[in-house]
Copies of this chain bind each other. A is one copy, B any other.
């Protein structure tokens, strides 16, 4: 309970103000407990940071795992499947925006930077396998290299999430007002057909 409370406060502050700009004294003040109490639940500031990444990573990878392609299908089935997966990811990001912000923009502390990086590599790897499977099933052309495709796709996803949830975003843009579902639709369209697509 208390532990979860501290975690929640910490992610939010880390995301909003950055790791170094967040003092343990801020966290405990928000939680209404004494400074020492923090150290009953966490070994150190670094530890709480890693804990945040670790627990978020697990949940994020679970969401992605659920969307894995297993069987062949038509193009429209593939598009639908992708759209469902992206919607789930965007929903997860929305519900865990502070974790997501930390994951995508954080990493002031070396070990947290590393943990974030690993999580993002895992995510990219999951998408690579997904694309690989689809290519093997003949649903995607084999002309582009897999890593490149995965990198481009994850760039798209990460960039869209970042702009959707915590900028940078052009003031006139209505991107931030889209639902997860709408965002997924637009993203998937671009993913499969590019700027020239339908």
The chain A residues found within 8 Å of chain B, CB to CB, are: 17-21, 75, 105, 107-108, 110, 113, 116-118, 120-121, 124-125, 128, 131, 140-141, 143-145, 147-156, 158-160, 162-163, 167-175, 186-187, 189-198
Would you call A196 and B193 a contact (CB within 8 A)?
Answer: yes
Whether A159 contacts B160 by the Cβ 8 Å rule is: no
- Of the A-B pairs whose beta carbons lie under 8 Å apart in the complex, a sample of 20, sorted by A's number, is A18-B113, A20-B108, A21-B108, A105-B105, A117-B168, A121-B170, A124-B168, A124-B170, A128-B170, A143-B198, A144-B186, A144-B190, A151-B175, A152-B186, A155-B159, A155-B162, A158-B159, A159-B159, A193-B193, A193-B194
User: What residues on B are CB-neighbors of A141 within 8 Å?
Assistant: 196-198
A141-B197, A149-B190, A159-B159 provided; 7 other pairs, C-beta below 8 A? A121-B170, A144-B190, A147-B175, A152-B187, A152-B190, A155-B163, A158-B159
Contact A174 B197 (CB under 8 A): no
Residue numbers in B under 8 Å from A175 (CB-CB): 147-148, 151
Q: Verify B152–A160 contact, CB threshold 8 A.
A: yes
> Which of A125, A149, A155, A160 has most B Cβ within 10 Å?
A155
Query: Given that A154-B159, A175-B147 are contacting pairs, would A195 and B195 also be in contact in the complex, using a CB cutoff of 8 Å?
Result: no
- State the Cβ distance, A125 to closest chain B Cβ, in Å: 6
User: Distance (Å) between the CB of A98 and the closest chain B CB?
Assistant: 16
- Using A152-B160, A155-B155, A186-B144 as known contacts, say yes or no to A167 and B21 having CB atoms under 8 A apart: no
Distance between Cα atoms of A9 and B175 in the complex (Å): 38
Task: Collect the chain B residues with CB atoms within 8 Å of residue A197's CB.
Answer: 141, 193-194, 196-197
Do B159 and A147 have beta carbons less than 8 Å apart? no
Q: How far is the CA of A20 from the CA of B17 in the complex (A)?
A: 13
Shortest distance in angstroms between A112's beta carbon and chain B's nearest beta carbon? 10
